[in-house]
Structure 1
Amino acid sequence: MKNFDDPVLDAMASRRSVSKVGPRTPSDEELAQLLAAVTPVADHKALRPWRLVLLRGEDRRVLGEALDAAAGVERGPGEMNPKPCRAELLIAVVARGIEHEKVPVWEQHATAAGAAHLLELALWQAGWGVMWRSGMHANAPQVRAAHGVRDDELLMGWLYVGDVDPALRERMGASSKPPLDPAPFLGRFPRS
């Protein structure tokens, strides 16, 4: 990991997706504090075209049932879809498309994705592990209904949030994985 002299750049460079998080999660109050760092996301015309839905406890079972219904999966008595139980806290990211002559819907969805990524960074910097998951059935009618997603909204997936095993965090911090070469991502405006 490249070491920057700026704590923000260090946090960005060190962020990793954590596929297996522990059972401890931030409280709703902690999340509200972190959201203060997210709300300044780039947002043309300040439309605020996003919202978050917190899923804890029984909410995850309901999501599992909706995902099963969408996939046509039937489970036996007492069986439950394990996917929503990979974390004690899921944060659904919902983008909204607002009619606006100067801000196309794709740009509003980009704002929602930007807010979700900023929240990932804020959670990581606060010591939490996060994995953004989606899937083929995220916008199936059953899943949308379970979240109260309206016709003008798009469910962009869920942030799975929990604590990180200290040994794993240490291994990630000691990783010598080089950053991506920026050259393929940078270009010049073509001129004839």
Structure 2
Amino acid sequence: MTQGKFFDDEVLEAMATRRSVSKVGPHTPTDDELRELLAAVTPVADHKALRPWRLIVLRGEDRGRLADALDAAAGTTREPGERNSKPYRAELLIAVIASSTEHPLVPEWEQHATAAGAGHLLELALWRAGWGVMWRTGVLANSDPVRAMHGLEEHEHLMGWLYVGDIDPSFRERLEASNRPALDPHQFLGMLP
């Protein structure tokens, strides 16, 4: 996909061609690779440098704990050995947490926007590094059992989870061959009346 003079830049091209990948494979970045990618995330716009966000990595049995918490929140009972499958859609989930603090010049909504910005930058960094990512949320994300399972403090808000894994080669080929047009930018750029 090449549109306009800016798409000669590989970073802008990656941003313009980013897609959510709902079904990711079992291979995931290591924690060390995640730390490297965070260098692209930490410069997120952050009024007063409050750093109102954090990430929690869920792998292995952590996903089972999340499955149990989601079931508890929904009031769902399952047969022994049966589990909620949602957290098992990926081997790696990254919880994006808004961790706001009281500040006279930076309202909570702005701090949540910073946390969402950090989550999106991480999603873009993972995409640029070749990983498939899907940001998932849900009505139970901030239920008491799910919050407790993540160890959230009263002032924190779970913004959702990034489901991360490798991309099936045939799906990647389809993505690269896609000529899906970009949205018309005019609808997003207005002028004062």
TM over 0.5: yes
Report the TM-score when normalising by structure 2: 0.97
2:130 corresponding residue in structure 1: 127
SS at match of 1:160: strand
SS at match of 2:26: coil
After superposition, the C-alpha distances for 1:59-89 in whole angstroms (9 at most, x for unaligned) are 0000000000000110001000100000000
2:2 corresponding residue in structure 1: 2
After superposition, the C-alpha distances for 1:113-149 in whole angstroms (9 at most, x for unaligned) are 0000000000001010000000000000000000001
Residues in 2 aligned to 1:104 and 1:169: alpha-carbon distance in whole angstroms: 41
Report the TM-score when normalising by structure 1: 0.98
Contact 2:94 2:163 in 1 (8 A): yes
Give the superposition deviation at 1:97.
1.8
Residues in 2 aligned to 1:5 and 1:85: alpha-carbon distance in whole angstroms: 38
Q: Which residue identity is paired with 1:25?
A: T
Residues in 1 aligned to 2:107 and 2:11: alpha-carbon distance in whole angstroms: 30
Q: Does 1:21 align with 2:24?
A: yes
Q: 1:116 aligns with which of 115, 119, 123?
A: 119
Residues in 2 aligned to 1:121 and 1:21: alpha-carbon distance in whole angstroms: 15
1:164 corresponding residue in structure 2: 167
Measured on the aligned residues, the alpha-carbon RMSD in Å equals 0.7
Contact 1:2 1:13 in 2 (8 A): no
Q: Which residue identity is paired with 2:138?
A: G
Q: Which residue identity is paired with 1:128?
A: W
Residues in 2 aligned to 1:29 and 1:81: alpha-carbon distance in whole angstroms: 29
Q: Which residue identity is paired with 2:10?
A: P
Residues in 1 aligned to 2:136 and 2:62: alpha-carbon distance in whole angstroms: 16
Q: 2:61 aligns with which of 58, 61, 65?
A: 58
Residues in 1 aligned to 2:67 and 2:25: alpha-carbon distance in whole angstroms: 19
Q: Which residue identity is paired with 1:85?
A: Y
Q: Does 1:82 align with 2:95?
A: no
Q: Which residue identity is paired with 2:2?
A: K
Q: Does 1:97 align with 2:107?
A: no
1:173 corresponding residue in structure 2: 176
Q: Which residue identity is paired with 1:17?
A: S
Instruction: Structure 1: give runs of 5+ residues left out of the alignment.
Output: none
Identity of aligned residues (%): 71
After superposing on structure 2, the runs of 4+ consecutive aligned residues of structure 1 that deviate more than 4 Å are none
Give the superposition deviation at 1:2.
3.1
Q: 1:107 aligns with which of 99, 110, 115?
A: 110
Give the superposition deviation at 1:184.
1.1
SS at match of 1:36: helix
1:71 corresponding residue in structure 2: 74
